[in-house]
Amino acid sequence: QIIPGLIYTSSRRPVYVHSANPVRPLQHPSTSPHHCLSFLVLDSSVMSSPSSSPEREGGMAGSVQLEDLNSPPGLETDPRFVGSPVLSPDSSSHDAALSAPAASPADSENLSPDELELLAKLEEQNRLLEADSKSMRSMSGSRRNSGSSLVSSSSASSNLSHLEEDTWILWGRIVNEWDEWRRKKDKLLKELIRKGIPHHFRAIVWQLLCNATDMPVKNQYSELLKMSSPCEKLIRRDIARTYPEHDFFKGQDSLGQEVLFNVMKAYSLVDREVGYCQGSAFIVGLLLMQMPEEEAFCVFVRLMQEYRLRELFKPSMAELGLCIYQFEHLLQEQLPELNVHFRSQSFHTSMYASSWFLTLFLTFLPLPIATRIFDIFMYEGLEIIFRVGIAILQYNQTDLIQLDMEGMSQHFQKVIPHQFDSCPDKLVLRAYQVKYNPKRMKKLEKEYTTIKNKEMEEQIEIKRLRTENRLLKQRIETLEKHICLYDWNNVPEVLQVKVNPDTLYRQCSLACGMWKHRCASGLRIRSGGIFHILSCNSVHFKIQWDSFDS
C-alpha cells in the first residue's frame, strides 16, 4: 500500500522533512543500521520557477522527485514510524530518502548523542517549516483579476510554540494510526480537521479521508494519458484560466498546466458521461498543489464518486440545481429579510452561489481559507459548503440589504472574498453556528425531485403532443389530396362505408373530410354503427364511432 505525497517544503536552504509519511517505500527496514533517519532534500532550484510560492512548491517539488524515483511498492502503515524525522543534507541524496528506513521511537531512544543532536535540529527545522506554512495561510491566494500573486514567504520564525510542535506530532500519529483513529477517535479527528490540517499533512490526510490510497484505477493512469479524449479541446481552453495567478500554473507549458491537463484528460476518459465540466479543474488544481498527479487523479475520482461531485458536474447539472434549491430554502428560513431583498432585486441564488458549490469556494475565497474549507469538505462533504455560504450571508446581511443588484454583485466580487483573510477560524466557527438539519435537507431533496419529475413529465407530454400534432398535420395533408379525388358535386346524404378494422381510422378521416363542408353531425353506415363527428375544422377533427352491436 503506497501512500505517497508526503512532505513538501520550499526555500533554498536544505529542508528537513518530518517523516509524516513513513509508509513511503522504505527498503530493507530490518537490515539498515540507521533506522531513525532518512533524507530528502527539496531544493527550489529544481523547480521551474524559483520565485514560486511555498505552498505550491511544497506540493510539486516533492511529488516530482518522488515520482522520478519509480519506487517499489511500499510497506504497510506502521505505527512504529511515528514521529521519526527524515533529513536530507543535500539535494543529491534523495535516493537515500527512500532507501533509508525509518525507525521506531524505541530505536531513537538508543541513539548516540550526535544523532540525538541531529534529531533536535530536525525538530527545530520542522518547526520552522510549520511556521512557513502558517505564514502562508495569512496570505491571500490568487484571485480573479485581483492582480495579487503569492509571494515567496521567508518569514519563518524560530520561536515556535509547543502547541504547534504538538500539532505536528499529533498529526504524525493520526496518519500512522489512521484506521484506529477512524474507528475509535473519529469525533476528535473531526474536531482537529475543523481546526485545519497542517499544510504538510494535507496530501496524505486527504487521500486517507477519501480512501484513495489503494485504487485500481491508479494503474490505468499512465495508459489513459496515452489515449486521446474527445474533451481535449474543452479542457485545454480552461487550463490557462485555472489559477492563472498562481506560480505553479503560470505560463504556457508550465509543469502545473501540464499535470492539470493530464488529470482532467484522464478523468474525462474514465467517466465519459461527465467528460469535462468547467469548474472541476479548480478542484484538481488544488489537489495538484499538494500531491503528484496520479494521487490527485485518484482523489478526484473518489470525490466525483463519493462526494456528490459527479452529479454536480454531469451535463444536466441536476445536483447543482438541487443544491441551489436547498440553499435557497436555508436562506429563506434563516435570513428571511435578506431573501426578500434578493428577490426584490431579482438577485437569483445561482448568480452568487453556483461557483460556491462547483468549486467549493476555491474560486471565491483566497486559497488559504478555501483550503481550510476543503479540509472539512474532505471529511464532512457538501454540508460545509452550505454552512459557510449561509455564514457569509449572515455576516454580510446588513451591508447587502442596502445595496442594489449592481452593488451586491460588486460586494460579492470585491469585499466578501477578503473579509476573513486574517481570521479563517472566525469563518469556520460561524459556519458551525449555522443551523443545518440533514433531515430537512433530505426533505427538500424529495421536494425538488418531485418538482423536477413533474417538469420532466410535462416536457415529455409537450413533446408527445408536438409529435402528435405534426403527424396529424401530415395526415390532413394526405387526406386533402384524397378528397380532391371525390366528386364534390355528388356527395351522398348518407355515406356508406364498409368498415374494415385495419383502415377504420383512415375511412373515418375520409368521411370526415368529405362531410366537413356539409356540417354533418353524423352519418350512417352499413355495418351497423354511427360516426359522430364531434368537431371538425380545417386543422383537426374528432370522430366517435358508436357500434350498434355493443
Partner 1 sequence: MAAAGGKTYSFKVVLLGEGCVGKTSLVLRYCENKFNDKHITTLQASFLTKKLNITGKRVNLAIWDTAGQERFHALGPIYYRDSNGAILVYDVTDEDSFQKVKNWVKELRKMLGNEICLCIVGNKIDLDKERHVSVEEAEGYAESVGAKHYHTSAKLNKGIEELFLDLCKRMMETAQAEERSRGNGASHTSTARRGVQIVDDEPQTGIPAGGCCTSA
Which spans of this chain sit near partner 1 (rule: CB under 8 A)? 144-145, 233-234, 237-238, 241-245, 277-279, 281-282, 314-318, 320-321, 324, 348, 350-352, 354-355, 358-359, 363, 405-406, 409, 413, 459, 466, 469-470
Q: Rounded to the nearest whole angstrom, what is the least distance from the CB of residue 409 to partner 1 in the complex?
A: 4
Q: Rounded to the nearest whole angstrom, what is the least distance from the CB of residue 94 to partner 1 in the complex?
A: 34
Cβ atoms of 521 and 532 within 8 Å: the answer is yes
Tell me the CA distances in angstroms from 530 to 106, 206, 228, 479, one per residue in order: 102, 77, 67, 21
In angstroms, the CA 131 to CA 159 distance is 9
Q: Rounded to the nearest whole angstrom, what is the least distance from the CB of residue 321 to partner 1 in the complex?
A: 6
Nearer to partner 1, 117 or 404 (CB): 404
| Paired strand residues for 524 | 530
Nearer to partner 1, 138 or 355 (CB): 355
DSSP 415: I
Look up cell 456528490; give the residue.
308
Q: Rounded to the nearest whole angstrom, what is the least distance from the CB of residue 515 to partner 1 in the complex?
A: 27
In angstroms, the CA 308 to CA 519 distance is 62
In angstroms, the CA 81 to CA 198 distance is 19
Q: Rounded to the nearest whole angstrom, what is the least distance from the CB of residue 142 to partner 1 in the complex?
A: 9
Q: Rounded to the nearest whole angstrom, what is the least distance from the CB of residue 476 to partner 1 in the complex?
A: 14
Nearer to partner 1, 273 or 487 (CB): 273
Nearer to partner 1, 186 or 404 (CB): 404
In angstroms, the CA 380 to CA 384 distance is 7
Look up cell 489503494; give the residue.
214
For residues 513-536, one letter each, b for 16 or more C-beta atoms within 10 angstroms of the residue's C-beta and e for the rest, the string is bbbbeeebeebebeeebebebeeb
Taking every pair of Cα atoms in the chain, the longest distance, rounded to a whole number of angstroms, is 124
Q: Rounded to the nearest whole angstrom, what is the least distance from the CB of residue 234 to partner 1 in the complex?
A: 7
Nearer to partner 1, 459 or 496 (CB): 459
Nearer to partner 1, 456 or 491 (CB): 456
Half-sphere exposure of 422 (CA within 13 A, CB side): 0
In terms of phi and psi (left: phi > 0; alpha: psi -120 to 50; beta: otherwise), the region of 360 is: left
DSSP per-residue codes, 315-362: TT-HHHHHHHHHHHHHHHHH-HHHHHHHHHTT--HHHHHHHHHHHTTT
Q: Rounded to the nearest whole angstrom, what is the least distance from the CB of residue 314 to partner 1 in the complex?
A: 8
Three-state DSSP class for 86?
A: strand
- Residues counted in the chain: 550
Nearer to partner 1, 151 or 429 (CB): 151
Nearer to partner 1, 280 or 396 (CB): 280
Cβ atoms of 378 and 298 within 8 Å: the answer is no
Nearer to partner 1, 262 or 280 (CB): 280
Q: Rounded to the nearest whole angstrom, what is the least distance from the CB of residue 357 to partner 1 in the complex?
A: 10
